[in-house]
A and B are shown apart, each in its own frame.
Chain A
Amino acid sequence: MEHIRTPKVENVRLLDRSSGQRKASVGTLYLSATHTIFVENNPETRKETWVLHSMVSSVERPPTTPSGGQLILRCKDFRIFQIFIPQERDGLDVHASLARLSRPEKYSELYCLSFNPNVNKEEREESWNFIDLMADYKRMGVPNNLWVATAANGEYRVCDTYPSELFVPKSATPTIIVGSSRFRSRGRFPALSYFHQDTLAAVCRCSQPLSGFSGRCQEDEMMLQALMKSNPGSDYIYVVDTRPKLNAMANRAAGKGYENEDHYTNIKLQFIGIENIHVMRSSQQKIIDVGEMRSPSMTDFLWGLENSGWLKHIKAILDAGVFVARAVADEGVSVLVHCSDGWDRTAQACSVASILLDPYYRTIRGLMVLIERDWVSFGHKFSHRYAHLDRDPKEVSPVIDQFLECVWQLSEQFPCAFEFNERFLIAIHTHVYSCQYGTFLGNSQKERRDMRLHERTHSVWPQLWKDRGEYTNPLYKAELSQSQGVLRPNTSPYCFKMWKGLYNHAEKSTPPRQSPADFLSAVREESQQLEEELTNHQEVPPGGTAHHHHPGSRQEDRSPDGEADHLGEDRGSPEED
């Protein structure tokens, strides 16, 4: 609380710009240790707006105008609030407080360490067991006579950013593992991400080799040989370097780089060309700007979209996933994926490939498992990438945003293939940033263990599972051909569009929108109830309990918003002769 100078300011006006609200509402602003809270004065509604400090990405204070000072709050979920504060003094105080509160310096300041939902110790412990990665490896048939668990990384001895439990080819001895890890950036040696039972081919991941221009390592070469041998159906493997070739080459000068095909027998090297985190950071800023344009022309919008490069990057990531999935499913060839450190682009490519390869990851629980495996357990640096603490801004980048968007783009192309809807993806996105739960805190499994997060925080997954009704796609049908087996998306440029639901809240929340999915969910719920009733009352007298009311109330009159208010801006000036 020491950072809050003025806990309460009255007669504040708040404008939720991202919701398309046009007129500011008057009320009282409260600052708590965790939230900014605005309560409307209007006695009818007393509407409350809560903004978590950790969701605030920036607080700006534009120059004071005659009507008083204002603050602009930009959030990590792309909401924007404009706050007008009558007294300059108060404005300065709130600004200073928020600037500090939204940039916590220590993990202990984060919300998840004070967040205390109404559950007891056992339930909390249980919540951390909700996702069981070992069960998922078992589901995909691992361990088996090709892939075995290794204890090499127990206590994170070999690689401190890897999980302690890992699967490697049967012939990979501890010596090979340790030797290979010494030749890989951050010790991230090749390990199993996904095993495809149908073809016995596997998706593996690692970081770049420390090859420089001519370095080699016998154990690492043996490791790749072991990977190849663990797939009886193929006599080579693909090594997918997800970086642009030029970047990979530049890394050689720093003693890193990529596999030399002369040293590794039986590998085929493939570059994909996903750009680095810095390019992605600035690209996302541009697409946020596009989403914020007030009333752009179609030309402005499409230019903005093209200039941002965002969809191009999304396509590159999806293309990487498609390449891996095809190699595994169609060619039956195992793939080893890496980038530089193997925790950003590699996580993207591997998890997209899994989504394409295995229908399980297209279910609500399956996506949780997938994120837990390829992102959380394999040491994606959540706290650095999503600015949980006030650290180096150059480490921040929307890496998982892009993965979630790839899934969304796929769900647009295959409307019946995913059990979850867009809201589920957005909820995950929010919690990656919110720090309300401990799931995404820290940068590796080891860090989370050292912080004893399982004892001090809660896991987000059971909560999302509890709300799954809200996240279910009514069109999901596992039996349809589009939902089964390997997903083969079209990645032509015309298949991609801007994810309005994430970037433009205004469009989403202009009330009340018609949504066929919501309607169908209501229909489904209703028909399930009816079915139950029917089975319960097999002998209903005719006309007994027939239900004829329509589910859900549906309304569509929308007041024309900014751009649709045609006459408003014109009425004053009809053309004169």
Chain B
Amino acid sequence: MAITMPLSSIIHKQPQKQRDKWPSNDFQEELVIRPLHSGDIYASFQFRTLWETDFMRGNKVSHYRLFPKSLGQVISKFSVRELHISFTQGYWRTMQWGQPFLPSPPGAELWVWFQDSVTDVDGTWKELTNVLSGIFCASLNFIDSTNTVQPSASFKPLGIGNVTDHSFLRYATLPREIVCTENLTPWKKLLPCGSKAGLAVLLKSEKLFHSSFHSQAVHIRPVCQDWQCKTTSWELRQTLNVVFDLHTPGQGKREWSLFKMFSRTLTEACPLASSSKIYIDITDNPQGEQFEVSPATPLLSQAMVLGDRRTFSVYDLTQQITFGTVRSLNLLIRWKSSEDMLRPLLHGERYVAGYGLQTGEIHTLMYNNHPYRSFPVLLLDSVPWYLRLYIHTLTVASKGKDNKPSYIHYQPSKDRVRPHLLEMLVQLPPNSVTEVTVQFERALLKWTEYTPDPNHGFYVGSSVISSLVPSIVAMDTNSTREQPLFSSFFPCKEESSYFVRVYTEPLLVNLPTPDFSMPYNVICLTCTVVAVGYGSLYNLLTRSFQIDEPSPGLAKRIANIIRKMRGVPPL
């Protein structure tokens, strides 16, 4: 009984349990734990602050309560409409782990929509990156025009707003950026409770960075407060995704607990939070035959997330009963048997082919694992200027046949000014692999442009594959209904599909590197040759020879002394 729904999000079905107006300053925190089929465990923290205020139109906001002041000042000073920044260490393995709730590429990624009142977007962008580098202790000041692009179709705004002018959008990645405790520390300080109470107590760097994947992000966007969208409020989401490896702690036994993952247990919820929940994904475990969770909880919840209806056990930390008699909560998940997992529908890979330091080829593979449906994907590629792409060699092939993209936007690079930007809309046939190849040539950089360790190589940022993937169950298009945070991040405009963004691996490419010790060697060699050559010539021309008597023997010397005394000429 499929009812076709219009695409607008304002008109919706039955308003169930909707709240007409959310409170003006609201903080919610949640943790979702999803056991993965490979034995690893995926934990996703989300902290959301909603604030009904107006940063724009000259309003000077001075009283901050839950919303961090540093970010509020950034929004008002730089007229930001949406800001998304993520720091990731590791690469998300889609084929082993499924789809993440919030995708992010390795390194640092920053994309910002500015308000239309900004006159000099590039200047504002540069200042914004400098300020953010100070807030997050990251080298975001290396973002400049050589790695910033303006995507024309990907990265539509995730909050309210129907702006189509892409000149207000800027996107940049730093694939080389390292994420460590110094990025986590200021991130934790932005939370209302800090790391002292609530779920943030679990965020200990020694465990978080000893993992296969770690990603922390900050997302700021304006959202509607009610279904008529009469008032808007600013939403700040801080998310942290981490995948713990089964074998790293050393035991190999398939058993996870909060203490094993984070070396802490929970004792209380954040007092400033209106809701503080832990969700454990038990969809694959309806009767408890795969794993068991203790302590058991009667609360269950269902949510439509990533095109699937999943069931979760819920632990509400605002209720004192959750902590039991020991006053602390340590969830324990113990496995009994394992099963194969469903293959994710969309998956991407990228690698460099070729040999030598002159030319090469970039191959991007996109997998559509749906058995009978085809869907379009938008591929965004941003390649630095020193890999000169030959776009006439661009080929897109699926199942061996040529597949012409229906939309291509290409902006060629300019040396030392702009990178390449390639955006394509490709229709992926069902159950197939689509391969995009393009050849490139490596440029020679000036000797001052090399990093201090040039033999490591140069990074090319991940490709972004965005798509509306057909979903198995009907998705919920009512964005104002109270939903868990992890299912409400991407706005859902249609019921039959959900939004997915997949990032490929970054590439590491070697450029022809000069030998930096050569100037010193050349100077030594030249000076030696000149010295030897000139010195010999000079000696030849100016040296004069004199005959030198050998020194006489002892007897003769004494005789000479006596003769000198007598006044007679010597021998």
Specify whether A and B are partners: no
Q: Give B residues with C-beta under 8 Å from A.
A: none
